[in-house]
């Protein structure tokens, strides 16, 4: 719901938060950070700074200091923390008490915001699914189940890292089409995937599905997610059980949880399905979710190569897409995940799958942008890329804008490729 925390006239006594591209006082994301040589603690990004939640106690706004796990698991507490942080950071009377708990973000380390118990990646970007399908099955790009059931696979939570962590080129087994036998070595077709992450708030008991009408209550927030992919491994190993070592070597996420409350002004109706597409089965259908379950988010992917850095060139925008291109809503993904009684837990993470748009320059992976490597992308440095090379850095960004409201963003989701070990 829209409330006083979304007021576009609201400003903060943290001056650089006002008109900040990502973290104005209307955003107030949740995260875990540590100042130099100090222990991690929960905090919130405000402009170019981070405020410890302990500042709420110092200012007398709370009797206790909530943990991240408690806030994610309890929607009422999450909303209360947002309201009190909004008061703390916008009312000058709290400045003196709160300033000792304010840290320059550049001087801090950002961590994963909570322990991730399990990670599942979906395939909800239909333009990505069609384009990739055409590369391998020109006459039948989408398999028959795609428009009936949200497709997904279980990933590896242990290899998820926050923005900025290096990405070591993986080694694995591949088989060239003209080779008699497979070989083992560094991936030659390393790729990115532009996705959103969905953080689970309250979980469900084993054997108890989550009704689609209540699914949104189980979402604690969102982040950006880069599902790094070794396409050469994937082509050899994925049949018959799907992705494995091509995916689980590394996943990068933006470290701030952007809450449903922050995104309340930026909801959209789910795009109507094309004529002839099947209506979802009743367990996946809710009128309210269809009316406002999609997200109004602009997404972009930038690349920065070693050659570009040597020439002092800024990062180059490889792609721009929008979250509205998802074929399934976040609530539909969550409901389907729990529909067989699977117990989701607080801190679990769901990936949406690659969110590509319909235009060539809105593709969410190099596999699509280069048409499987056949048409390399030319960069401002006169370099070309079919797939990622050592030294390349990828930056994912997302922001939400709507008339009458202040723009908010997600912060960077960044990773640089290092040579195979």
- 10 Å CB burial of residue 174 (0-12, 13-18, 19+) is buried
- d(C-alpha 342, C-alpha 314), whole Å: 45
354 annotated to a ligand binding site: yes
Domain boundaries, given as residue ranges, for the chain: 4-111, 119-418
Averaged pLDDT, 287-301: 98
121 annotated to a ligand binding site: yes
Residue 81, both tokens: 């923390």
Question: Superfamily assignment of 4-111 in CATH?
Answer: Fumarylacetoacetase, N-terminal domain (2.30.30.230)
Strands 267-268 and 31-35: unpaired
Nearest to 367 by CA among 246, 251, 241: 246
Torsion-angle region of residue 130: left (phi > 0), alpha (psi -120 to 50) or beta?
Answer: alpha
Which fold, 119-418? Fumarylacetoacetate hydrolase; domain 2 (3.90.850)
CB 117 within 8 A of CB 348: yes
CB 55 within 8 A of CB 88: yes
Residue 285 has pLDDT above 90, yes or no: yes
List pLDDT tens digits, range 49-108.
999 999 999 999 876 778 999 999 999 999 999 999 999 999 999 999 999 999 999 999
Chain centroid offset of residue 416 CA: 17
421 pLDDT tier (thresholds 50, 70, 90): confident
79 annotated to a ligand binding site: no
Q: Residue 257: helix, strand or coil by DSSP?
A: strand
Residue 393 has pLDDT above 70, yes or no: yes
Nearest to 394 by CA among 197, 258, 245, 190: 190
Is 111 an annotated catalytic residue?
no
**E strands present in 187-309:** 190-191, 194-200, 219-226, 229-230, 251-253, 267-268, 294-295, 298-304
Residue 410, both tokens: 């997600």
Kindly report the three-state secondary structure assignment for every residue of 243-271.
CCCCCCCCEEECCCEECCCCCHHHEECCC
Does the predicted TM-score (pTM) go above 0.85?
yes
Residue 160, both tokens: 């998820």
193 annotated to a ligand binding site: yes
Question: Which is catalytic among the residues 103, 127, 128, 337?
Answer: 128
List pLDDT tens digits, range 142-183.
989 999 999 999 999 999 999 999 999 999 999 998 899 999
- 10 Å CB burial of residue 273 (0-12, 13-18, 19+) is middle
- d(C-alpha 360, C-alpha 354), whole Å: 14
């Amino acid at each position: 719901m829209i409330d006083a925390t979304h007021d576009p006239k609201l400003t903060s006594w943290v001056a650089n938060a006002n008109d900040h591209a990502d973290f104005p006082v209307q955003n107030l994301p949740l995260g875990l950070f540590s100042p130099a040589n100090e222990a991690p603690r929960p905090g919130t990004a405000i402009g170019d700074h981070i405020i410890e939640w302990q500042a709420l106690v110092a200012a007398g706004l709370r009797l206790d200091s909530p943990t991240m796990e408690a806030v994610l698991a309890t929607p009422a507490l999450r909303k209360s923390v947002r309201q009190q942080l909004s008061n703390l950071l916008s009312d000058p009377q709290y400045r003196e008490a709160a300033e000792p708990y304010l840290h320059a973000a550049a001087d801090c380390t950002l961590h994963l915001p909570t322990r991730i118990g399990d990670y599942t990646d979906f395939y909800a970007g239909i333009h990505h699914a069609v384009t990739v399908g055409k590369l391998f099955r020109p006459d039948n790009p989408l398999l028959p189940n795609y428009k009936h059931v949200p497709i997904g696979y279980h990933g590896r939570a242990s290899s998820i890292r926050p923005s900025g962590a290096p990405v070591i080129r993986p080694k694995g087994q591949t088989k060239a089409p003209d080779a008699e036998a497979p070989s083992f070595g560094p991936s030659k077709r390393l790729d990115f995937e532009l996705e959103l992450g969905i953080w689970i708030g309250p979980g469900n008991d084993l054997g108890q599905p989550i009704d689609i009408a209540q699914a949104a209550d189980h979402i604690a927030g969102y982040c950006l997610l880069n599902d790094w992919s070794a396409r050469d491994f994937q082509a050899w190993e994925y049949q018959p059980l799907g992705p494995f070592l091509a995916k689980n070597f590394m996943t990068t996420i933006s470290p701030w949880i952007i809450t449903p409350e922050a995104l309340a002004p930026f909801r959209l109706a789910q795009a109507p399905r094309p004529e002839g597409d099947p209506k979802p089965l009743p367990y996946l259908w809710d009128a309210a979710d269809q009316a406002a379950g999609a997200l109004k988010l602009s997404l972009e992917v930038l690349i920065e190569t070693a050659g570009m850095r040597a020439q002092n060139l800024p990062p180059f925008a490889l792609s721009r897409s929008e979250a509205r291109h998802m074929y399934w809503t976040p609530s539909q993904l969550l409901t389907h995940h729990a529909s067989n009684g699977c117990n989701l837990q607080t801190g679990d993470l769901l990936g949406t799958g690659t969110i590509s748009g319909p235009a060539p320059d809105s593709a969410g992976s190099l596999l699509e942008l280069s048409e499987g490597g056949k048409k390399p992308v030319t960069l401002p440095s006169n370099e070309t890329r079919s797939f990622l090379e050592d030294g390349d850095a990828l930056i994912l960004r997302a922001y939400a804008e709507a008339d009458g409201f202040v723009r908010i963003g997600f912060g960077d989701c960044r990773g640089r490729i290092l040579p195979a070990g």
